[in-house]
Each structure stands twice: as C-alpha cells, then as structure tokens.
Amino acid sequence: MLSFVAQRVVKGVIVLLAIVVLNFFLIRLAPGDPAIVMAGEAGASDQVFVKQLREKFGLDKPLPEQLFIYVKGVITLDLGFSFRQQAPVAKLIGERLPATLLLTLTAFAISLMLGILFGSFAARFAGTFLDTAITVFALIFYAMPIFWVALMGILLFSVTMDWLPSFGYETVGANLTGFAHAVDVAKHLIMPAMTLGLFFMATYTRMTRASMLEVKRLDFVKTARAKGLSDAVIQRRHVLRNALLPVVTLAGVHSGTLIGGAVITETVFAWPGIGRLMYDALLQRDYNLLLGVFVICSAMVLIFNLITDLVYRLVDPRIEFAS
Amino acid sequence: MPKRVLLGLLLACGLTAPALAQEPKTGGVINAVIQPEPPGLMLAQVQNGPTQMVSGNIFEGLLRYSPKLEPLPELAESWSVSEDAKTYTFKLRKGVTWHDGKPFTAADVLFSIEMLKQTHARARTNLAQVDKIETPDDYTVVFTLKQPFGPFLGIFEVGSMPMVPKHLYDGTDWKTNPYNNAPIGTGPFMFKEWQKGSFIRLVKNPNYHEKGKPYIDEIYWQIIPDAAARSVAFETGKVDVLPGGSVENFDVPRLSKLKDTCVTGAGWEFFSPLSWLWLNNRQGPLADKRVRQAIMYAIDRDFAKDVIWNGLGKVATGPSASTIKYYTDDVKKYPYDPAKAKALLKDAGYKGEKIRLLPLAYGETWQRWGEAVKQNLQDVGINIETIATDVAGGNQKIGDWDYDIAFTYLYQYGDPALGVGRNYISSNIAKGQVFNNVEGYSNPEIDKLFADGAVATPDSKRKEIYEKAQKILVEDVPVAWMLELQFPTITRCKVKNLITTGIGVNDGFKDAWLDK
C-alpha cells in the first residue's frame, strides 16, 4: 500500500505541474489587463501609471519568462504575490482555506450520510409511496440551481422565521469564545452547508437507490435470502456494501465539484472561503492568486481521489492496489 | 413687539428646539456594508471606491468639501491665495497626532505629496501645475503654481490627497511596508482588525484633534459579496448602513419602506457620477455626427430613469453633471424622439450596418439598462448586436477601441478641469488605456477651451469658457450622455449626521452618532 501511495504522490506532483502550466496560459487567454483593473478609474487613463504597475508586477516580461518565474516559485512552495491584494498568495489562501474546508467537508458529510440513508430507504421500500416521495424530493434538489436554493433558504430561515443568520462565518462584534463560538459558527454553517450539500445529497440518493436495486437482483443476495438471513441484515451487509462502490466513485469525483459549488454558496452567504477568493481573483485578473487557488484546489482533488481509492479497498477488500 | 420680530423668534425657537433634541450622543457601534472587499487600506497606494470608503475614517486630507463643494478645514485650519492666484498658503492645525502618537507636521504634507506623485495617478495629474512646495515652519505649507489653476483648491480631499505618516514610510519599501496592513492615519477612527472575507473593524481615536469627536465607538465594515444578501442583511437588522450602490436599485423602494429606515441621495456632489455611452467616433456609421445625434434622440432616458433606476437620478443634459461647477443647461436638447432619430439616420445614409453594444457588467440594473437601450436603438432601425463581457474584458475592448457603443459612468470631481475635460481632449487619446478619450473625438476648439478653462481667472472667465465647451460638445455628441446617477445611502434612522460633506460616506463617520 505504501508504494501505491508513494507512486500516486509522485504522479500527483507531475499532474499538478501540468495543471499549473496549462492554467498559466489559459488564464492569460481571457481578455482583460490586470494593470488596467488595478489602476482603477483615474489611473487607467494614465499610461505612465499603468506601465509602472506592469513593471512592478513583472507583467511586462515575456510570457515564457513569467512562466519560468512562476513555476520556479511553485517548486519552492512560493505561490507568488497577489497583484490586487498586495499580499503573498499563500498567506491569502491560508487565511481562507480553513473556512472552505469546514464548509465543503460538512456539506460532503451531510450529502453522503443523508444521500445513502434516503437512497437505502427508497430501495428498501421500492415502489411504495416513501420511494416516490424520496425520489421526487431528490429530483427537486437535483434540478434546483444552488443560488436559488440559497436565496430561498435565506428568505425562509432568515427573513421569515429569523432562525438562522443569513451571512458570514460568525456573529461580527460578538467576540464569542470557546463553546459559544463553536455554536455560533455552527449556526452560520447550517444554511450554506445544507445548500451545498443538498444537490450532492440528491445525487447520492438516486445513485444509492439505483445501485441497491441492481445489487438486490444479483445471485448472492438470493443465496443470502435462501440461507434465511433477515431482510435488514441482507440490506445492510450484502446489498448496501456492494452498492456503495459507485457512490464512492462519484463522491471522489465530486470532491472537486464541491469546491466549484462553494464559489456560489460562499458568495451568497458571504462565507469567507477560497471560493470567493477565486471569484474575486478571476474578475480582477489577479493571475497569481487565481493560479494559486487552482493549484490548491487541484491538490485537494488529487488528495481526495487518493483517499477514494483507499476507501474502495475498505469497502471491498477484493480490490487490490495496482502496483 | 412687532409681528415680524415675533415670527422671527418663533422660527428661531422652532429651529433650535429640534437642534437641541438632536444633541449628539456618544457610544455605540455602526455596522456598515462594504462591497467589494477593498484590496488594501493604504489610501495613498490604493484608490478604489471601497478603500476610500473605509480609509476615509483612518486618513485625512488637508480640506473637506461642503455639499456645495466649498472647501472646509480638515488638517489645514486656514488657507489663503495670493492675488496672482499662483501661491496657496495652508496653515496646518496644531496638536494633531498620528494614531501612534507622533505629531503631524508640514514635513508629513511634503512627504505625502512626493509619495502620491508616484502612487496616485489622479494626484499626480492634479499636482502637475505645482512648481514648488515650501514649508517655512512646521505648520505652514506653501504651494507655488506654474500658472493659475482654477480647480486647485478642489484637490485636497482625503481620497485625492491623503496625508501619509512620513516617519513610518520614509526610506522604506512602500509596497511591502507593514503599515499597509495596519494603516496609521490622523483620522477619527483607528484600524483595529481585518478578517479577510468577513469584516474590517475600526475603533474610535481617543486623541482625535476635534474634541468630542467621533461619537461612535466602533465601526464594523461587513463584507457581503451578493447584492441580494446585502439587502437581507439590512432587512434583518444585521447592518445599519448601506452606502450608495450597495444594493440593486430595484431593491431601494422596498428597503425604503421598512420601518425606521432613512434614505438620502446626498453625499455624491463631489463625485457626481454621470453615465454615458461611449460612441466610437472613428469608424462606421458612428463617425457621422448625425448618427450620434440620432442615438441621443432614440434613447428614452426618462424611461431609464423612472423604470430601470426607479426614479433615482436625473436625465443628463451634457458632459457636466448639474452638481458641478460651471454647469449650464443652455445647450441643445435631445428629447426622446424616435421619428427625428429615424430622419437623421436616413439623412446620414445609415444602411443597417451592424453596431456592437457593450453593456456594463456591474449587476442586474446595468444589464436591464443595456437591454432597454438595445430595444430603443432597434426601434429606430439600428442593427444592434450585444457583446457580453465581464468588467476586465469590457475595459480591454474599450481601451483597444474594439467597440461601437459601450456603457460607462465616471466621476466628475467637482470641476470640469478635473473630471470632464479628460474624456474629450485629443491629447487624451491613447490606445490601450480606458477612461480617457476612448471615443476618439478630436476638436481643436474643445482642446483649447479645456486648456484655457483650467488656468483662466477669474471665475467668471472660467464659467464663460466651460459653458461654451458644453454647447459645442452637446452639438457634436462625441458620447451619448444618459443620466446623472444617484446612489442612495440607506440607513437605520437612528444613525444621525452620517453624511455632512460632498463626498458623503467616503469622508468618514466623525460626525455620525447613534440615537439609541
């Protein structure tokens, strides 16, 4: 297993470098001059000022030279300097990453737990009213755009009922500490995590249901039934365990999508994560910051994929690690 | 007692009674919205809107400006102008200290100006007329100009010329100076904390030079990126102040009707945002003045004001907003008249050539406005194609002159020499740059008028020159002027005296207090 992990890490680093090079050029294909954006209304009309900005941030250098400087930096774990925010990219990402991880991991946990639970119920009671209700429920959340769910959540739980805060990571100015602070953060987390989690929950519900119904038809389930095992045991030990493999695969793929979904969720709920940092960096053509966020997100996807492969083995010990 | 005197006394009582009731109270916290998150707070190095809004509390300029744009004392307590209008002497306020306790002196003014010449594009342009600056003593600064410069007294507000602490910046690398992240100014509030993505916290400066001020203990600038979420934050009582432009204009009527909510359009007099359509004068049908005039007649600007901007704003009459100096409405008028537009297009021989329209990617209101203008132009037979871009992409297209019609709005800075001329003079035609003469209008007469207007004396002469310039421009239609925009500031009514000057919320909260 160790050699498998080591090999994947080496491959991951190569993939990351490829992503850096590709993104470096892709970002620059987008129209828009970061120096003009930085200069703002008054400065953008001043040629000397814009030229100074280009020189200051090395934007006047030839592209291959800019790439060489950037890749050299990445190799030495220096993600560069943000033009717009005038701070090291690593520092900016470091400030925001914990909030994004908290949000996405909570959403991920909610979606997986609820999705598998609802999917199992739907499969267990296939064809009944409960199955139909769960399927319709999943379909609705699968079809609704994340920003719409977010706004409806705010309207219902913040404006109408005043149960949950509509924005932010914590109550600003409350200066809470310890348990009270944790409760406060949890209250702020519920809506964004649910919003982000509901779409994926719907996917897992549908996937679990379909997969379980398929496994239920297989011979080994019939054998288990013939052996006289109870329905609950068959569902839990034989059907669910085997049906989970495609769900795990999907969850691995979703790890990257979750970060993408977090851009919208973080924007609507003013959640101070890297999704928003990425969005702002894109609008401002803050190349280094954008590349930095891409590097971190890509690294996270690679790590999640590795974890997925390891979880595969746990779920089904018959799967061997490729050497 | 004569009736007139009695009436006078009653009026006086009537006026003073509320004044007494409005005696400022001290203490409390104001939660305000800031959007987008400022990239930095060091006003001398970063000059975008959000930075000015927050940092206007931390830094100060030599002067402030009344809603009528008359200069008021700030760090300079008085000033005088020589008879030849070339020497300006500022007497600095004594007893002013930086937030770290060091005294503010003329050396700081001198240093700030040197720094701003390198870091602040607008300040550098404004200071180009200065021949030399002298500091005969610690509290006197003398500017000698190369020639009289009419708007000179209008360049000293905090956003245009913030004062920087020499003792913390002199001899350091300004870009990486640690005080950029924890700015030190002389202002009524001190920087305390910035949780990136969440909030910026400022606290009262206990040693502020205006005794008794500020009244508020703390300000939290909350960062909420989504416009709908900002509306909700106000609606649910989480924020007290929505500075102009924080919410979509179509939300303003709804929010205005909420209990204990006050709305004001004041505080934009200095900036006077004026919207227009850049018209690329260089190429295609728009090179013909008649087509540009047809566009002016074709657009229903009253509809835009009443429906898209919910009645907020005013139909523009020309290149100057009605709130800035030397404005005149004695110019050619362009009422909504599609028939006249069609006639002009026919006269110009317009054959349905495709014209590209770039809307402004500043949110829903602007998107809707783009659609309305497209409809208006199509109605008179102009073949319009909308090009969707984001702000950075749009700016590049405009700067590269790769457009036909494009939305924009720019500030006027109180004087035609500062905020108007730059868009029409031919020396400001420079490819690759935006917010200058990107339409490519070139008229030697206009060049001369703006050149003369900046240095003419006395005021009556300037007035004459700028009125003439407005008349010529409105006849030529280098761009299609749309609306004088209004960005209302929405507050809880308990927030008193928030806006007292021509730069509104950007001037800091030193006069604001909470009626608890």
- What is the pLDDT of chain B when averaged over all its residues? 92
B415 shares its domain with B307 = yes
Q: Which residue of B has its CA nearest to A84?
A: B39
Collect all residues of chain B within an 8 Å Cβ-Cβ radius of residue A36: 392, 395-396, 399, 433-434
The answer to whether residue B168 scores a pLDDT higher than 60 is yes
CB A169 within 8 A of CB A272: yes
Produce one character per residue of B144-160: b if its CB has 16 or more CB atoms within 10 Å, e if not.
Answer: ebeebbbbbbbbbbbbb
B342 shares its domain with B480 = yes
B128 shares its domain with B213 = no
Q: What is the CATH number for B114?
A: 3.90.76.10
pLDDT of residue B475: 97
CB proximity list for B65: less than 8 A, separation 6 or greater: B71, B72, B154, B157, B269, B270, B414, B501, B502, B503
Shortest distance between the Cα of A270 and any Cα of chain B, in A, equals 5
Asked if A36's CB is within 8 angstroms of B396's CB, the reply is yes
Q: What is the CATH number for B467?
A: 3.10.105.10
B477 shares its domain with B342 = yes
For A:76-105, CB contacts with B below 8 A are 84-87, 92, 95-96, 99
The answer to whether residue B14 scores a pLDDT higher than 70 is no
pLDDT in tens, B429-448: 988 888 889 999 999 999 99
The reply to whether B3 falls in a domain is no
Candidate ranges A45-59, A162-176, B364-378; pick with highest mean pLDDT: B364-378
Domain boundaries, chain A: 1-76, 98-284
Collect all residues of chain A within an 8 Å Cβ-Cβ radius of residue B37: 280
CB A68 within 8 A of CB B432: no
Which of B137-141, B179-183, B203-207, B213-217 is least confident? B179-183
Shortest distance between the Cα of B291 and any Cα of chain A, in A, equals 27
Asked if B430's CB is within 8 angstroms of A33's CB, the reply is no
A256 beta partners: none
The reply to whether B234 falls in a domain is yes
Count the residues in chain A: 323
pLDDT of residue A41: 65
Asked if B238's CB is within 8 angstroms of A166's CB, the reply is yes
CB A276 within 8 A of CB A291: no
Residue with tokens 């074709």: B298
Is A157 in the B-facing interface, judged by CB distances under 8 Å? no
Of A86, A158, A267, Cβ closest to residue B226: A267
Asked if B225's CB is within 8 angstroms of A33's CB, the reply is no
Collect all residues of chain A within an 8 Å Cβ-Cβ radius of residue B175: 56, 86
- What is the pLDDT of chain A when averaged over all its residues? 87
pLDDT in tens, B172-212: 988 789 999 899 999 999 999 999 889 999 999 999 999 99
Asked if B397's CB is within 8 angstroms of A31's CB, the reply is yes
For B:17-36, CB contacts with A below 8 A are 29, 31, 36
Domain coverage including residue B158:
59-171
Asked if B40's CB is within 8 angstroms of A159's CB, the reply is no
Q: Which residue of A has its CA nearest to B50?
A: A40
Asked if B389's CB is within 8 angstroms of A36's CB, the reply is no
Residue with tokens 């199992």: A120
Asked if A165's CB is within 8 angstroms of B124's CB, the reply is no
Is A160 in the B-facing interface, judged by CB distances under 8 Å? no
pLDDT in tens, A202-235: 999 999 999 999 988 888 888 988 888 888 888 8
Give the whole-angstrom CA distance, residue B97 versus residue B207: 8
CB B477 within 8 A of CB B341: no
Asked if B393's CB is within 8 angstroms of A45's CB, the reply is no
CB A79 within 8 A of CB A292: yes
pLDDT of residue A321: 62
pTM: 0.87
Dihedral angle sign, alpha carbons of residues B40, B198, B183, B511 = positive
| Of B235, B243, B222, B238, residue with least CA distance to B261 | B235
pLDDT tier at B21, thresholds 50, 70, 90: low
Q: How far is C-alpha B41 from the chain's CA centre?
A: 18
pLDDT in tens, B263-276: 999 999 999 999 99
Q: Quick one: average pLDDT of A16-37?
A: 86
For B:397-416, CB contacts with A below 8 A are 397, 399, 410-411
User: Which tops the pLDDT comparison, B9 or B497?
Assistant: B497
Is B307 in the A-facing interface, judged by CB distances under 8 Å? no
pLDDT of residue A261: 66
pLDDT in tens, A237-262: 888 888 888 888 888 888 777 776 68
Asked if B198's CB is within 8 angstroms of A46's CB, the reply is no
Asked if B222's CB is within 8 angstroms of A272's CB, the reply is no
pLDDT of residue B164: 97
Q: Provide the residue type at A120 as one letter.
A: S
Of A47, A166, A272, Cβ closest to residue B198: A272
Collect all residues of chain B within an 8 Å Cβ-Cβ radius of residue A30: 392-393
Of A49, A85, A279, Cβ closest to residue B39: A85
Is B149 in the A-facing interface, judged by CB distances under 8 Å? no
Shortest distance between the Cα of A67 and any Cα of chain B, in A, equals 22
Q: Quick one: average pLDDT of B154-170?
A: 95
CB B472 within 8 A of CB B449: yes
B94 shares its domain with B146 = yes
Q: Provide the residue type at A233 as one letter.
A: V
Asked if B435's CB is within 8 angstroms of A33's CB, the reply is no
The reply to whether B11 falls in a domain is no
Reading the block at residue B442, the tokens are: 């070139």
* Pairing of the two strands B241-242 and B218-223: unpaired
B210 shares its domain with B260 = yes
- Count up the domains in chain B and report the number: 3
B66 shares its domain with B198 = no
Is A161 in the B-facing interface, judged by CB distances under 8 Å? no
The reply to whether B507 falls in a domain is yes
The answer to whether residue B281 scores a pLDDT higher than 70 is yes
Asked if B435's CB is within 8 angstroms of A45's CB, the reply is yes
The answer to whether residue A140 scores a pLDDT higher than 70 is yes
Q: ipTM, 2 decimals?
A: 0.83
| Of B209, B205, B204, residue with least CA distance to B219 | B204
B501 shares its domain with B464 = no
Of A31, A95, A269, Cβ closest to residue B393: A31
Instruction: Kindly state the percentage of chain B with pLDDT values over 70.
Output: 96
B303 shares its domain with B419 = yes
Q: Quick one: average pLDDT of B296-312?
A: 94
pLDDT of residue A75: 85
B373 beta partners: none
Where among B146, B171, B196 does a domain terminate? B171
B326 shares its domain with B392 = yes
B508 shares its domain with B481 = no
Collect all residues of chain A within an 8 Å Cβ-Cβ radius of residue B118: 52
The reply to whether B10 falls in a domain is no
- Write the burial class of residue B230 (CB in 10 Å: 0-12 exposed, 13-18 middle, 19+ buried): buried
The reply to whether B414 falls in a domain is yes
The answer to whether residue B286 scores a pLDDT higher than 70 is yes
Q: Does domain A98-284 have CATH number 3.30.360.10?
A: no
Of B40, B198, B430, Cβ closest to residue A169: B198
| Of B406, B292, B277, B405, residue with least CA distance to B348 | B292
Dihedral angle sign, alpha carbons of residues B491, B497, B503, B507 = negative
Q: How far is C-alpha B48 from the chain's CA centre?
A: 11
Residue with tokens 């229903």: B300
pLDDT in tens, B3-12: 443 333 333 3
Residue with tokens 């080591």: A6
